Structure 1
Amino acid sequence: GITYKDGSHTDAVLSLAWNMEYRNVLASGSADKSVKIWDIVAEKCEQTMHPHTDKVQAVAWNFNQAPVLLSGSFDRSVVMMDMRATTHPGIRWPVPADVESLAWDPHTDHSFVVSLEDGTVRGFDIRAAASAVDSDSKPMFTLHAHDKAVCTITYNPAAPNLLATGSTDKMVKLWDMTNNRPTCIASTNPKVGAVFSACFSKDSPFLLGIGGSKGILHVWDTLDNSEVGRRFGLGMHRAGWSWVRGRDGKGCRDWRERRHSSTGTRGECGESAWGPGQATVRPGDSVVRGGALVHMGC
């Protein structure tokens, strides 16, 4: 049988997040209502927290403040915790529906978005939160993004204000978030079923990896959309991101030939992520399915 490490979760693992600065540190959220911090190198649970009263559906580390972690739960709250202040219970934001996903804005250190089961997305500025445990700060915006649950939400790592959302309505949408006034600029049905996960590539930031209930991984070259190119593509070219579709001319041509291919999996794709140093879906990319972390490839 399987031997579990001391401190392991006692129910399904619903979310994982690598720390961007301390690469040996992994956060996990579970249906057992706990959040755990793991040292992957030492293979041990370093810390267990209980900030919620229901399943923990999402965890996310701040890009610029490495010890700061968000967690979101079916108890309809988001909690921000600082690993340097372990005795503080964290700051809590109430939301009107079950939390599906969380994302920090990588271009600031003070704002995040949360997507909910009711199809909405809300944005918060942590500077507006009180130091008390329960924050009464209002969201910067509330967006009705989809008609069904918004299971995944992700910022573009290179283009400020470009956000992607995916839903059980089978659609993926791109949003221009300039001035906290979201505008839908593109949408697609990637044919993966209910969309459970989407993630921009860090190496080729306009490639969006998508996973869903059909057990298929799909990659969308978002610069194929003229509005995305008009709003974000030219600026990124001027900023030195002319290689976003490939690291050389041949890479761009090769990608265009295979960009609509998909990878089959044996079950539903719960969460997808680009592997480090990769611009295509291939061995090393990660998918969370059935509470287990597995590796996929084309």
Structure 2
Amino acid sequence: MSYCLNPSCDQPLNSDGVEFCQSCGIKLIPLLRNRYRIIQPLGGGGFGRTFLAEDEDKLKEYCVVKQLVPQVTGTSALHKATELFREEARRLQQLGEHPQIPTLYAYFREENYLYLVQQLIKGKTLRQELKEQGMFSEDQIWEILSELLPVLKFIHEHQVVHRDLKPENIICRSSQDIDSRNSSTQQANLVLIDFGVAKQLTETSMEHTGTSIGSYGYASMEQMKHGFAYPASDLFSLGATCFYLLTGIPPYHLYMEEGYNWVTHWQEYLPSPISANLQHVLDKLLQKDMNYRYQSADEVLQDVPLQPKQAVVTQGMAVTPLPSRISLKSSVSPKTVIQPQILLPKKILLAGAGAIVLLLGTAGYLLYRQNLPLTGHLSEVNAIAFSPVVGKSASFEAIFASGSDDKTVKLWNLSQRREIRTFEGHSDWVYAVAISPDGLTIVSGSKDKTIKVWNLNTGQEIRTLRGHKSYVNSVAISPDGQTVVSGGYDKIIKVWNLNTGEEIRTLTGHSGEVLSVAISPDNQTIISGSTDDTIKIWNLSTGKEIRTLSNHSSDVNALAISPNGHLLVSASDDKTIKLWNLKTGKQIRTLTGHTADVNAIAFSPNGENVASGSDDKTVKVWNLSTGLAIHTFDKHTAEVFAVAYSPDGKTLVSGSKDNTIRIWHL
């Protein structure tokens, strides 16, 4: 096959022997520089695309080809991208051949594009390792420090600062990837890649502010705020990398919430104890003020033990360290790890998390922790809503909001199972929450008859919407992020401008309290459910009622619309869930299985399943094609009032009268 190198080509693969691309018509280049044959794409970023290629002059040995394709506009930005691409080649050439740095093979221009050819490193990045094996053990962190510090010392001695050290730019070499140049000596396992933003450390660069380049959360304050780059800047990034591998918490998220203040209390995020020695090393690496940080890799190496087997300090006593889950150099597949069933006597629980870790091991402790409910609310949990924007990028994690009778709204990180912040301001129970499509705003409805609009990132109240004469039981935000719809015990529905807080109109027609509202994906329709046993469909733009659905025999507590906008599901005190054709209003089927009122309903992101919560204390997942319950979760000890799917559809979250939030892995 021949690969088209036109960045705009939609179908770049062509048959051998074809002179012009059959998709875009551009002339094909079978061999770059008459030597390198493109095999397949490996990915791309802001400055270029990366390909796997064969070197015809080296018996078709694999290599990596980078093509400069900057996703920028403007002469200045294009010039900067080109210079950074050229700098990567210069740095690789300057550093020569080192077993932990990809070797530069070529740098050239062809057909108006710049290309860089370098050694292929086979393996997985540390970020990929974390996602596959879980959080790293202390022994693994010592091993990482022992392997990365010498290569950082090497590049710093060659007057180069990497400036973008992070798990994505560190490859754990596979056991099959043996460097023939160093076959006579033991080869380091970790390789430092991507020198595209590396900086020459000169007196000029030390004296003058430069361009702020790096990754938020991993880059030091002097680098991001002032453009300075020193060896100590890379050491901060190394500390942030170790923190991420130990905790699974991306430093980017903490930076977005707290700036650089998170480094002052990073120990609070540790899922299990670490030794005092490692805590000292990471604390000094993560100093916000560069003057208090390690100044060189050599300084750090003096604090790294030759035999990285440390005692873990737990509640004032030293104990034998936990074994690593999977060694960086182990060939054992993570899939072979058998997770134990967990039976914990109350005595052990009283000893704290440290004792649990010692008893169960890291894997067992994580499984135990996953089975625990979230217990931050002091009263009933009435509502849950996920941020729609999270989960679309590998660098982001799912977050959700919850509303409670304790008068608060809380924001949670799903994977870390931790509370991010609490929103306080309502004077009575919070019945409903919604998050805007851009993930920046939370809206909550309360028994205090108000709707509050909050800044999700800061926790500050933006405004309060007043107009309902009784409890606000439900809120929804339109998919375009412009409109809020609310339903109340005053039997009316109100439509608001989210950006200004202005009331647009009031919809009347229900003869009972409005318990649920939803907005269709096309921004055209409002759906409402009421204690009058009916569902009403309204035109969002005009406020006119389109039709009424009246097949339920009791209160309609909750509504959800399928992602494609074709289906509607409703949950009722009649113990049933009904599936409707939203366009025609015709009932498709009834789902039965709950033994008490059904309070909550949610569509899965793929539209194939729905989840429900009931007064029977269970959460059920239903297959819409068969109408059968495929999962029943029964760990709640009281009525279930809220359910929501994570954006990737792999997790279900429920809130209950038992004051807890539970996380179910589907």
TM-score > 0.5 by shorter chain: yes
Tell me the secondary structure at the aligned position of residue 547 of structure 2.
strand
Q: Which runs of structure 2 are paired with 1:210-249 in the superposition (5 Å)?
A: 210-225=570-585
1:286 matched to 2:611: yes
In the alignment, which residue of structure 2 is the partner of 1:268?
597
Q: 1:287 to 1:172 in 2, by over 3 A?
A: same
Q: Deviation of residue 167 (structure 1)? A: 0.3
One-letter amino acid matched to 1:163: I
User: Structure 1: how far apart are the matches of 2:452 and 2:526?
Assistant: 22
Q: Which has the higher helix share?
A: 2
Asked which structure has the greater RCO (Cα within 8 Å, sep 6+), the reply is 1
The counterpart of 2:404, out of the listed 3, 27, 30, is 30
SS at match of 1:223: coil
Does structure 1 residue 105 correspond to structure 2 residue 434?
no
Q: Does 1:168 align with 2:542?
A: no
Letter aligned with residue 110 of structure 1: Q
User: Hey, what does 2:444 align to over in structure 1?
Assistant: 71
Higher Rg: 2
Query: 2:456 corresponds to which residue?
Result: 83
Are the equivalent residues in 1 in contact too, given 2:547–2:585 (CA < 8 A)?
Answer: yes
5 Å matches for 1:9-20? 9-20=377-388
Q: Give, in angstroms, the shift of residue 293 of structure 1.
A: 7.5
In structure 1, give the amino acid aligned to 2:533. Answer: K
Alignment partner, residue 191 of structure 1: 552
Q: Give the number of equivalent residue pairs.
A: 247
Instruction: Give the Cα separation in 2 of the matches to 1:45 and 1:3.
Output: 14
- The CA distance in 1 between the partners of 2:444 and 2:492, in whole Å, is 18
Q: Displacement, 1:22?
A: 1.6
Q: 1:224 is paired with a residue of what secondary structure? A: coil
Q: What is the match of residue 424 of structure 2?
A: 50
Q: Kindly state the Cα deviation for residue 69 of structure 1 after the two structures are TM-superposed.
A: 0.4
- Does the Cα contact within 8 Å between 2:594 and 2:614 map onto a contact in 1? no
Q: In 1, distance between residues paired with 2:402 and 2:616? A: 11
Q: Which has the higher strand share?
A: 1
Displacement of 1:4 = 4.7
The answer to whether 1:121 aligns with 2:493 is: yes
Whether the aligned pair in 2 keeps the contact of 1:39 and 1:45 (CA below 8 Å) is yes
Over 3 Å counting, the alpha-carbon distance change for 1:117 and 1:219 in structure 2 is: same
TM-score (ref. length: structure 1): 0.77
Note the C-alpha offset of 1:85. Answer: 2.8
Kindly indicate whether the alpha-carbon contact (under 8 Å) linking 1:76 and 1:98 is maintained by their aligned counterparts in 2: yes
Given the superposition, is the C-alpha separation of residues 110 and 224 from structure 1 closer, same or farther in structure 2, using an over 3 Å criterion? closer
Give the CA deviation at 1:225. Answer: 4.5
User: Quick check: 1:192–1:218 contact (8 Å CA) kept in 2?
Assistant: no
Deviations 1:7-60 (A, max 9, x none): 521111100101101241010000111111111101111111212010000000
Q: Give the distance between the partners of 1:26 and 1:152, measured in 2 at CA.
A: 19
**How far apart are 1:265 and its partner, in Å?**
1.0
Letter in 1 for 2:550: N
Give per-residue Cα distances to partners, 1:86-125, cap 9 Å, x unaligned: 3x3331111322101001111x222111111111011111
What is the CA–CA distance in structure 1 between the aligned matches of 2:420 and 2:618, rounded to whole Å?
19
Q: How far apart, CA to CA, are the structure 2 residues paired with 1:93 and 1:293?
A: 34
Stretch deviating more after TM superposition (162-171 or 119-128) = 119-128
Gaps of 5+ in 2: 1-345, 347-370, 392-397, 623-627, 629-666
